[in-house]
């Protein structure tokens, strides 16, 4: 959320950003609504003050026994209350509409974010690792995994419908191994590891910037009015909502959680196999720091480096891209995606994401700290996907496949898999 004063001073800028991020909001309508809101607040406060004055006068005349004067003031009080009731109802409606529009206003965008309409316009920053060449016809991850007996899609669909999966034996081990390896990397770098809820109330999703724009991607539990979260970023940030915290040193939080997304609108190759599934696991990094862009930018690069180091431990080729304006989410100021090479897709495909939000998220969540002058300020927040699985299993299986159908296990993973060095066909 942005400060309304900032929005007022930058109407054209905010409207341009909303257009770039494809958010349907009219900033000039918000400003008109805010003007109405402020005027109604002024009138309501004036009438409330007048009502207090009337109450004082009634009490004074009753105390002196002048009933006629007291009745006169009571009549005035009734008129004030009638007028106040009308204005308070108007104010209530205006505030609700104002809050709805404020929640649609996007975060500002960094000056180095590339212009573009979609992920096709994202700009490569660096490329790491060599794309493998095969002297045999490589298989895709689904065929590989089924031949190895570590993936069962057919029975999963019988249980849960489309885009469900069951991982077995070494497939399950691999799934868990990448999570634990990522957690160990983060713990060694000062992150506090946490187990967090997999569902949250509406307020938590609004405050972290996933609602209102992401409702169609989120599973709802209507009886309890809770939502299954698509990332532990939601509970990790909400963990500190409405608090004044100490960020003299940045706070590093991480969690591994089962995540759920409806993936509305996904089609084509994205829905094949394990790329876009409804249920997955993710190790998430969340960092909170003081309200300083230079500090925040350094942390942004740091958490991106953490994810890159994990990919290098997995011995996978990847590239980092700067996400363009049209592919940037409402809440992000700056974003990098890390795309890992997937042979069956003949391309680098997104496996990780780093986001820098400035104080957009903490304003909604009301997370503050005291600066060196004792003044309360909103924190900056950042987040990054350290690992997401089973998607990461696609490049792991496909890049490390051998001619005999076996899969090489990177050495960094072996201690989590009973020293297994390869997965061999059944």
The residues that are catalytic are: 261, 276, 350, 353, 391
3-state secondary structure of 78: helix
Tokens standing for residue 325: 């304006």
Residue 387's closest CA among 132, 186, 141, 168?
A: 186
DSSP 105: P
423, 150 contact by CB (below 8 A) = yes
3-state secondary structure string across 161-230: CCCCCEECCHHHHHHHHHHHHHHHHHHHCCCEEECCCCEEEHHHHHHCCCCCCCHHHCEEECCCCEEECC
Give the number of other Cβ atoms within 10 Å of residue 111's Cβ.
6
How far are the Cα atoms of 145, 148, 149, 176 from residue 426, in angstroms, in the given order? 10, 6, 6, 21
Query: Could you give phi then psi for residue 222, rounded to 5 degrees?
Result: -65, -35
Q: Which residues 6+ apart lie within 8 Å of 381 measured at CB?
A: 237, 286, 287, 288, 357, 359, 360, 361, 362, 367
DSSP secondary-structure letter at 278?
Answer: S
User: How far, in Å, CA of 288 to CA of 233, rounded?
Assistant: 12
């Amino acid at each position: 959320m942005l400060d309304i004063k900032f929005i007022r001073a930058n109407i054209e800028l905010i409207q341009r950003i909303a257009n770039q991020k494809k958010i349907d909001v009219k900033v000039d309508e918000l400003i008109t609504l805010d003007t109405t809101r402020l005027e109604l607040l002024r009138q309501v406060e004036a009438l409330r003050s007048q009502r207090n004055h009337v109450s004082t006068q009634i009490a004074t005349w009753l105390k002196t026994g002048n009933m006629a004067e007291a009745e006169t003031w009571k009549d005035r009080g009734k008129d004030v209350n009638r007028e106040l009731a009308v204005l308070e109802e108007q104010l209530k409606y205006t505030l609700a509409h104002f809050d709805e529009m404020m929640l649609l206003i996007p975060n500002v965008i960094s000056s180095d974010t590339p212009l573009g309409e979609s992920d096709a316009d994202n700009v490569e920053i660096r490329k790491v690792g060599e794309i493998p060449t095969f002297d045999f016809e490589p298989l895709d991850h689904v065929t590989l995994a089924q031949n190895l007996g570590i993936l069962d899609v057919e029975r999963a669909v019988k249980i849960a419908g489309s885009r469900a999966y069951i991982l077995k034996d070494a497939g399950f081990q691999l799934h868990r191994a990448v999570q634990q390896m990522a957690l160990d990397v983060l713990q060694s770098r000062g992150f506090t590891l946490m187990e967090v809820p997999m569902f949250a109330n509406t307020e938590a999703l609004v405050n972290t910037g996933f609602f209102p724009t992401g409702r169609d991607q989120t599973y709802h539990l209507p009886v309890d009015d809770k939502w299954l979260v698509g990332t532990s970023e939601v509970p990790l940030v909400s963990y500190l909502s409405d608090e004044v915290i100490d960020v003299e040193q940045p706070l590093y939080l991480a969690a591994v959680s089962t995540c759920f997304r409806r993936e509305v609108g996904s089609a084509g190759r994205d829905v094949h196999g394990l790329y876009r599934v409804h249920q997955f696991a993710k190790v998430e990094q969340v960092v909170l720091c003081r309200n300083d862009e230079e500090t925040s930018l350094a942390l942004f690069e740091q958490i991106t480096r953490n994810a890159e180091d994990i990919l290098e431990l997995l011995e996978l080729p990847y590239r980092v891209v700067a996400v363009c304006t049209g592919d940037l989410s409402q809440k992000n100021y700056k974003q990098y995606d890390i795309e890992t090479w997937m042979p069956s897709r003949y391309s680098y495909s997104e496996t990780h994401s780093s986001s820098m939000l400035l104080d957009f998220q903490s304003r909604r969540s009301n997370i503050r700290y005291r600066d060196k002058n004792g003044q309360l300020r909103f924190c900056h927040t950042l987040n990054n996907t350290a690992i997401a699985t089973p998607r990461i299993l696609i490049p792991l299986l496909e890049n490390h496949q051998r001619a005999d159908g076996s899969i090489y296990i990177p050495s960094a993973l072996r201690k989590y898999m009973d020293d297994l060095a390869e997965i061999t066909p059944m």
